[in-house]
A and B are shown apart, each in its own frame.
Chain A
């Protein structure tokens, strides 16, 4: 049904998007928590910094990632020399670029559910003998799960389509960083690539549609378990 190149691009897209979500979630939960529950100097600047990828051109994000995480960049060089990990021009790098782009969306989604959470429930847990980590794991986390799920789904869906940051930071390498949108772009640049481009567009479309349906289904189940 799918040609090897097509299924390669599809699987790579899924893998990059999934890994970007995995990168994202722990940091996004932490940052959302810091932004809703703590007051510290420079909080507004930090808030703006977190939201930067929303307003910057993706190419700029890709370029900044190259500067910092490239083999000659401060973090990238250290990772390369210490662990032999290279991010630029690898699929892990593509996942990182995708994660940075969708980070503000995830933070925003988790933050909204944290703000909506009745803090009285955490107080109640405290009077019942629960410590801070216990309270977070037994009360806060399960109750903001819908927000986390929504954020993860949005990030995953957006991650399937991330183009600018990926191509700048990770380039367009078949089998390594050539995800669906990059494959589609390449097909359009190729003579006689129209049919392939159309097929790839159709795959993207079905994928997005299926993703939305799955998200809706999960959200409903979660709401039932949470009893609302």
Chain B
């Protein structure tokens, strides 16, 4: 478990956060630009001096300002991948990769093996090149490999995809997924792109203006009202965690979430690998239709029984309806206030939630092979 408590003041801005990250898996630090995410990374890595701090990885205390303990950044064994890669321009890719490895103490354990990293990140063909001969995506893969080969016990990824275009991001993201499922170390992933968070992380720390707004499972934090301020009303939606059950006769993926079953338009190429794996699905609030009675003769594939939890005013003439679909699974629906009145929506009313299969995209989290 990574435990982080930080206070840093800079003029009017005060960063004050306190959060945990489970040992394996990705914890996303999410917030808009300038909310202090990167400062958190610099403070954890030891590149910036905190005003007050306590940082602990497992049993190792790295920083405790009350005891005047601050391990120097170079002894922390924390791998950092920066937004701008920061490869050393005067070294080849190979020498970049080996930079940290060469500086390890002689007796340091090296569980992360060179050949595995080269293979996993697809760096084999790049080793002889110079950083300026690499594409943006390749640079980030090399930076990731370089950080890993220094045998870190924590990996910090500071908006590693922010300087890449959409095509390059799609090229690099699968490597992060692979890494997450293969590594036994915690990863803190900073991003202001919710789709990256949805795809990579199960835990989220929500930051705004240097403060922690929410921390927890993505499924819970995705319903936090403050998230709407960051992602905008159109991107609001509940995130559900389910299990892949198989395919239906039309080739759509069947996913169980709580008591309900959803069909998701996922490529069948996921199978058979994805069977029984955890899957994370975001259901955008604007894609959910609420019906008072079970409808028929519709193209919509997902019709689930739900109970209204709350009806809250949203932007414009809309309201945001929170729906309980059983076993703590929740949906958000954004509908007009008029529609809500006509349906007589109020807490505890039983309704039906309708979602098109093609509106859903799932992200599979493969459990590490043990």
Contacts and interface: CB of A to CB of B under 8 A. Distances in A.
A227 B131 contact: yes
Contacts of B82: 120, 124
A128 to B, nearest CB: 4
A225 B90 contact: yes
Interface in A197-228: 225-228
B74 A227 contact: no
A120 B86 contact: yes
Contacts of A139: 88
A6 to B, nearest CB: 42
B103 A226 contact: no
Nearest to A142: B90
A227 to B, nearest CB: 4
B74 A129 contact: yes
A92 B293 CA distance: 101
B130 interface: yes
Given A127-B80, A128-B146, A130-B74, A227 B103 contact: no
Contact of A228 (B45, B73, B74, B132): B132
A128 B100 contact: yes
Interface residues of B, number: 28
A213 to B, nearest CB: 25
Given A226-B90, A227-B131, A127 B74 contact: yes
B148 to A, nearest CB: 11
Contacts of A130: 74, 99, 103
Interface string B94-135: 000001100110000000000000000000000000111100
A142 B99 CA distance: 15
A126 B75 CA distance: 9
Given A125-B99, A127-B47, A129-B100, A118 B90 contact: no
A121 B88 contact: yes
B150 A129 contact: yes
Contact of B86 (A124, A131, A143, A227): A124
A41 B78 CA distance: 35
Interface residues of A, number: 21
B63 to A, nearest CB: 15
Given A130-B103, A134-B103, A227-B131, A125 B78 contact: no
A194 interface: no
Given A127-B45, A128-B103, A227 B90 contact: yes
A139 B146 CA distance: 15
Interface string A130-147: 110010001100110000
A101 B89 CA distance: 34
A126 B73 contact: yes
A142 B95 CA distance: 14
Label chain A's interface by main secondary structure: helix
B84 interface: yes
A128 B99 contact: yes
A123 B47 CA distance: 7
B86 A126 contact: no
B89 A126 contact: no
Contacts of A143: 89-90
Chain A CB within 10 Å, residue with most, of B79, B82, B89, B147: B89
A225 B90 CA distance: 6
Contacts of B80: 124, 127
> What 4 pairs between A and B have smallest CB-CB spacing?
A128-B100, A129-B103, A227-B130, A124-B86
19 contacts: A120-B82, A123-B86, A125-B88, A125-B99, A127-B47, A127-B73, A127-B78, A127-B79, A127-B150, A128-B103, A128-B147, A129-B74, A129-B100, A129-B103, A130-B99, A139-B88, A143-B89, A225-B90, A227-B132
Given A120-B82, A120-B84, 19 more contacts: A121-B86, A123-B47, A123-B73, A125-B99, A126-B47, A127-B47, A127-B73, A127-B78, A127-B147, A128-B99, A128-B147, A129-B77, A129-B100, A130-B74, A138-B99, A143-B89, A227-B90, A227-B131, A227-B133
Interface of A: 118, 120-121, 123-131, 134, 138-139, 142-143, 225-228
Interface of B: 45-47, 73-80, 82, 84, 86, 88-90, 99-100, 103-104, 130-133, 146-147, 150
